[in-house]
Amino acid sequence: MSLLWLRVAVLLYGIAALAVLPAALYERPRWRHIAIPAMVAALLFHFVSLAEMLNAAHHRLPVDMYETLSLLGLLLGGAFLIVYWRYRTVSLGVFVLPICFLLSLVPAVLPGQETTPFSQLHTGWIFLHIALLLAAYAALLLSLLASVLYLIQERRLKSKHTTPATAWLPPLETTDQIALRSLLFGLPCMTAGLLIGSWIAQQLFGPSYFLDSKVLLSFGMWIAYVGMIYIRRHSGLRGRRAIYLSAFVLLVVLAVWSANQFSAVHRFTTP
């Protein structure tokens, strides 16, 4: 049943992604009454699907790429609803909802078969480790998208005219607050996730854990994340430079994920 619920969630994500376009781009606010309920329902079915999937596999956390993508899509969709509840803007949905759709589509069409040999992964600590890091990744992606919207809106204001293609954008201050607060939310999640992962890996692998390729990149990612927040808060960095900085950190995140192929600690293999 978990696969059925996930496919229902994918359908609802698609409806929400389509409905948000006229609501955000064509000044049709009534369409948000379709987009937001569809998104809420999608998240509900998605959550039920993920819970059933993990329960059927007898573990409480994602252990392969497909389950991880599913959880990341769930967290990103939840982050969008939080932004909507706080700022009453659906502008980010133009980008976020299609991403949620794609992240859920992959495990819905190609469910994974990978497992992990470590019985310790059935503990709540590993679940917390993965959930916190995925929340940090979702916050970083949300901040990058908000920075892109900031740049588009800034250019519109400098041109001193409004067009239907840009009238849907929120004020600069709102967009900047979304970008910065997303980063501020993601930092403690990333820090706690890395600390918990370090503690668990120490129990499993000992000091050799710190020589693992993904571990070294993960701490480099944390340093880049801290540096990005420091620069944004103390220099007032916005617009194009903020996009470049966020994109750089996102590339580091992708490098960390790619390091799974060379990591003895994080790589999950099929028996």
Ramachandran bin of 88, using left for φ above 0, alpha for ψ from -120 to 50, beta for the remaining angles: left
Residue bearing the bigger pLDDT, 232 or 211: 232
Q: Residue range 72-79: average pLDDT? A: 90
Among 26-35, 203-212, 235-244, the range of highest mean pLDDT = 26-35
Q: Residue range 195-209: average pLDDT? A: 67
Tell me the pLDDT band of 111, cut-offs 50, 70 and 90.
low
Return the residue matching tokens 């967290």.
75
Please give the Cα distance from 200 to 128 (Å, whole number).
Answer: 11
R_g of the chain computed on alpha carbons: 19
* Contact status, residue 100 vs residue 77, Cβ threshold 8 Å: yes
> Both tokens of residue 230?
């420091």
Taking the complete model, does pTM exceed 0.85, yes or no? no
Please give the Cα distance from 62 to 47 (Å, whole number).
Answer: 13
Q: Residue range 16-43: average pLDDT? A: 87
Q: Is 89 helix (H, G, I), strand (E, B) or coil?
A: coil
Check whether 120 has a pLDDT greater than 50. no
Check whether 112 has a pLDDT greater than 60. no
* Contact status, residue 17 vs residue 39, Cβ threshold 8 Å: no
What are the backbone angles phi and psi of residue 37, rounded to the nearest 5°? -60, -40
Return the residue matching tokens 């588009």.
152
> Both tokens of residue 220?
């480099």
Check whether 119 has a pLDDT greater than 70. no
Per-residue pLDDT of 216-254, as tens digits, reads 777 778 887 887 777 776 666 666 677 777 777 777 777
Tell me the pLDDT band of 117, cut-offs 50, 70 and 90.
very low
Question: What are the residue boundaries of the structural domains of the chain, listed by start?
Answer: 1-109, 115-271
Please give the pLDDT value at position 12: 93
